[in-house]
């Protein structure tokens, strides 16, 4: 009886050890690749919104990145804002050049945690909506019904307004980064 109990415990211990060993091996093998994939995903997203930049430097963790061209000149910044939409925060990456013009907008996918309603608020991800922001400056960034230039999505005003206002507020908040004044050497 006691022997079978010992065997019971022993078999569990052995199987746990084998499993842990196998997983440790695979973890070491894939670790570098996983890190690389994560960095690539971020870089892809950044270059989508700031196409002129070929390298990026993280300025504020997961919030602000500086973009540089191939000669190492700063061509603009990318910042992330999380305006509150209808279902939750809308993760929005915004690219800005040094004159304060928007160069691109990327909105997180539902898989990345976007909670907007499919067919309504989720349509903020559509190209026509996002492309309205390109080349616009701060004062133009309001919905048309709020006196600006951005067409809202039919029946999804809350989400449209959240994104538009979020981008505008982000431009204001991170002005010290995108405007040329900040590149002074005593920064």
Partner 1 sequence: MIQLRQMNKKSSRLKYLTNGIILENPTLILMIGLCPTLATSITVRDGLGMAAAASFVIIGSNVVASLLRRLIPATVRIPIFIIIISTFVTLVDYILQAYEPGLYQVLGVFVPLIVVNCIVLGRVEAFAYKHNVLDSMLDGMGKSLGFTLVLFVMGTIREVLGSGTFWGRPVTPAWFRQYPILLMILPPGAFILIGILKALLNKLMKPGS
Whole-angstrom distance, CA of residue 77 vs CA of residue 59 = 9
Contact 90, 80 (CB under 8 A): no
What totals of helices (H) and strands (E) does the chain contain, helices first? 4, 5
Please report whether residue 155 would count as binding partner 1 according to CB under 8 A. Answer: no
* Residue 50, helix vs strand vs coil: coil
| Residues 77-116, mask of contacts with partner 1 (x by CB under 8 A) | --------------------------------x-xx----
Two tokens, residue 118: 């499919």
Give the one residue of 1, 2, 119, 127 binding partner 1; rule: CB under 8 A: 119
Nearest of 95, 96, 138 to residue 149 by alpha carbon: 138
By CB under 8 A, how many residues form the interface with partner 1? 24
60 binds partner 1 (CB under 8 A): no
Q: Per rule CB under 8 A, is residue 19 in the interface with partner 1?
A: yes
CA dihedral 45, 110, 118, 141 (to 10 degrees): -40
Q: How far is the CB of 11 from partner 1 (least distance, A)?
A: 6
12-20, 79-87, 93-101, 144-152 -> range binding partner 1 (CB under 8 A): 12-20
Give the binding site for partner 1 (CB under 8 A): 4, 7-8, 11-12, 15-16, 19, 22-23, 26-27, 30, 33-34, 37-38, 40-41, 109, 111-112, 118-119
């Amino acid at each position: 009886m006691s022997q079978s109990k010992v065997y019971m415990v022993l078999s569990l211990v052995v199987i746990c050890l084998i499993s842990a060993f196998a997983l440790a091996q695979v973890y070491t093998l894939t670790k570098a690749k996983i890190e690389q994939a994560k960095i690539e995903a971020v870089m892809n997203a950044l270059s989508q919104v700031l196409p002129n930049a070929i390298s990026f430097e993280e300025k504020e963790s997961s919030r602000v990145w500086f973009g540089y061209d191939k000669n190492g000149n700063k061509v603009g910044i990318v910042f992330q804002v999380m305006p509150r939409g209808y279902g939750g925060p809308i993760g929005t990456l915004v690219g800005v050049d040094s004159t304060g013009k928007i160069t691109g907008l990327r909105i997180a996918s539902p898989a990345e945690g976007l909670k907007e309603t499919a067919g309504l608020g989720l349509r903020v991800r559509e190209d026509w909506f996002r492309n309205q922001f390109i080349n616009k400056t701060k004062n133009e960034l309001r919905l048309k019904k709020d006196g600006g230039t951005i067409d809202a999505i039919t029946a999804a005003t809350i989400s449209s307004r959240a994104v538009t206002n979020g981008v505008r507020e982000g431009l204001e908040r991170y002005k010290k980064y995108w405007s040329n004044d900040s590149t002074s050497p005593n920064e």
